[in-house]
Structure formats: structure tokens, C-alpha cells
Amino acid sequence: MSASYALALKAARDAAGAQHYPQGALYVVATPIGNLADISLRALHVLEIADAIACEDTRHTQSLLRACGLERPAGSLLPLHQHNEAEAAQQVVRRLAAGERVAYASDAGTPAISDPGARLVAAVRAAGLRVVPLPGASSVTAVLSVAGAHAGPAEAGFVFAGFLPSKAGERATAVEGLAREPRAVVLLEAPHRIGDLAAALAALGPRELTVGRELTKQFEQIATVACADLPAWLAADPQRSRGEFALVLHPSSAARPADDGQALLALLLEELPVKSAVRIAAQASGAPRNALYQAALRLRGDAS
């Protein structure tokens, strides 16, 4: 452990130690997605005081703990991954029912989003026991924050799609669905499959895609390209196909239905005269003023 993490542990005890950490609770702990400095003070404190730590890979979590200066006996680490989650969750429930504090950490980022953990949380809640989130690093929010993909009200919100199917036909069908999705879409992909994903997304043509590669790590790379250009962008440098990927498919104006302004017009008519409501609705939506005026007369006639 470096001196900096000795200071971090002291800071964690000072900053988080006075807070209440109920017994018999599951603590869902976000861990760094690459840069170890992204671990939170509260995460350090909970990983230190927990009676047991359930983890996706005990070796990976033990390495993280040691890097942060936390020495835990091997018996306090419980393997809980996609192949044993249902059974291991019951073991965690029994420990919680006995009054223990149990932390859960996946290999990187926030558990139970694309990593294991959702079944564990569901089992704990079904047993009437408490689940406490410890927020922190997430590739989903990290890539969204630098994509600039949903900047206006028309593009509000995003969809998390995660990993698309591995089979070519199912992946192509999923991409067809993305073509009809007007909001930003967050995708995840592994290095050995990024070429196949790029080939499938190329069908979306000029729609923009922000690629986040090796986020928070030394060789982090962020680029925005047209979907049609993604295969060529990857092929231009072998390094671009290495590492873990988080991607944002930008909103598609073609996928959004044209705004005829009538929804806004109906709201404005509740407070304003017809001419004022029509003028504002036309300016906001770009819809023809004459069409909006006729619609306003119909709405007023229906109301009366």
C-alpha cells in the first residue's frame, strides 16, 4: 500500500466512520472501473468494517483491497457471480439474518447494472432485509457525461441497452430496434466482439456514436463518429479494438416523429388567448401557423 492510500484510509475513517451503518444490511459497493483513485471514502470504510464481502471474483477483489491497504482473511470473501448467484444469494441472506454486514462488489463499476448483483438484491429484499447503495464509478454515466448526446428537451433521457446479443441474426434485429429509438442509447461491448458490433451498427449510417474505450485508464480514448464510419475507425489503429467499450448512440432526428406543435398548443390554450397560443406553439415547434390556428379553433370548439 502506498502512503497515499494510508492517508485515504484515515480520511475514510474520519469522514465516514461517524455515519450509521446498520447491521443485517447488504451494502452494494461501486468500485473503480479502471482508475483506483476513483474509489470513494465511504466504499473504503464499508469494505473495511463489513463482516463479509461477496464479490464477482474473489481474486480481483482481494487485489483491490490490498492495493487500498485493506487486508481481509480469505474466508471473509464470498464468491457470487453469474453462475452461482441464486445459491450464493441465500448464503448472504442467512448472514444478514444473523446480523452481519455484507458488502457486495462486482469486478468494476456499480453492481447489478450489467454485472451480477440484481438477483442478490432481489433475494435480500424478498427476505425483508435492507439494501444500502454506495454510489460511485459507472461506465454508463461516465460515457454519457462526455457524449453530449441528450442536450435538449427533445432528446431528454436515455436507454441502457448494455450488451447486444452475440448471435449475428439476433444482434441485427436488436440494431433494427435501435434505429427506431429516438433517445440516446448506451451500449457496452468487449474487445473480442467490438468488430462485430461495429459492423452491425454501420447499418445506422450517419447517426452519431460516441465511443468510450478504456474509460478512466491510462490509454482512455473517446471519439464521436458516424455509425457507418465505425468499422473504418477501428481498423485505422489496432489499439482501438483493445480494452472495454462503453458507447453512446446519439438521438436520431429521423427516429423522432415530427412535432406538429399540437400537444404544446393544447397546454397553452388553457392559459392564453388563441392568437398568443398559436404564435408561441409555432415558434417552439416550427409547425405552420395556419395549421395550428385551425387546430386551436377545433380544440376550443371541442372544449365549449
Please write the tens of the pLDDT for every residue from 83-103.
999 999 999 999 999 999 999
Q: What is the pLDDT of residues 181-191, one digit of tens each?
A: 989 999 999 99
Examine the domain organization and report whether 26 and 116 are in the same domain.
Answer: yes
Q: Is 255 among the domain residues?
A: no
Q: Is 185 among the domain residues?
A: yes
Q: Is 10 among the domain residues?
A: yes
Distance CA 247, CA 239 (A): 17
pLDDT for 74: 83
Q: 0.85 cut: is pTM over it? A: no
Examine the domain organization and report whether 54 and 171 are in the same domain.
Answer: no
Examine the domain organization and report whether 28 and 113 are in the same domain.
Answer: yes
Examine the domain organization and report whether 18 and 78 are in the same domain.
Answer: yes
Examine the domain organization and report whether 205 and 278 are in the same domain.
Answer: no
Domain boundary among 137, 172, 193: 137
What percentage of the chain reaches a pLDDT higher than 70? 93
Q: Is 256 among the domain residues?
A: no
Q: Is 296 among the domain residues?
A: yes
Mark 180-219 as b/e (b = at least 16 C-beta within 10 Å).
ebbbbbbbbbeeeebeebbbbbbebeebbbbbbbbbbeee
pLDDT for 51: 97
Q: Is 257 among the domain residues?
A: no
pLDDT above 80 (res 303): no
**The domain containing residue 182 runs over which residues?**
140-249
Can you list the positions of beta strands (E) in 179-281?
184-189, 208-213, 221-226, 245-249
Domain boundary among 137, 156, 185: 137
Instruction: Kindly state the average pLDDT of the residues 156-172.
Output: 93
The CATH number of the domain holding residue 183 is: 3.30.950.10
User: What mean pLDDT, rounded, does the chain reach?
Assistant: 91
pLDDT above 70 (res 155): no
pLDDT for 265: 86
Examine the domain organization and report whether 235 and 294 are in the same domain.
Answer: no
Domain boundary among 137, 166, 191: 137
Local confidence band at 301 (pLDDT 50, 70, 90 cut-offs): confident
pLDDT above 90 (res 156): no
pLDDT for 263: 82
Q: Which of 159, 80, 77 is nearest to 112 (CA)?
A: 80
Least confident of 30-34, 190-194, 232-236, 264-268: 264-268
Please state the domain count of the chain. Answer: 3
Q: Is 168 among the domain residues?
A: yes
Examine the domain organization and report whether 270 and 222 are in the same domain.
Answer: no
Examine the domain organization and report whether 196 and 79 are in the same domain.
Answer: no
Examine the domain organization and report whether 231 and 266 are in the same domain.
Answer: no
The CATH number of the domain holding residue 54 is: 3.40.1010.10
Q: Is 254 among the domain residues?
A: no
Distance CA 236, CA 219 (A): 16
Query: What angle do helix axes 289-303 and 274-285 make, rounded to 10 degrees?
Result: 130
pLDDT above 90 (res 220): yes
Q: What is the pLDDT of residues 3-49, one digit of tens each?
A: 778 889 999 999 999 999 999 999 999 999 999 999 999 999 999 99
Local confidence band at 255 (pLDDT 50, 70, 90 cut-offs): very low
Examine the domain organization and report whether 239 and 266 are in the same domain.
Answer: no
Examine the domain organization and report whether 133 and 231 are in the same domain.
Answer: no
pLDDT for 20: 96
What percentage of the chain reaches a pLDDT higher than 90? 75
Examine the domain organization and report whether 8 and 133 are in the same domain.
Answer: yes
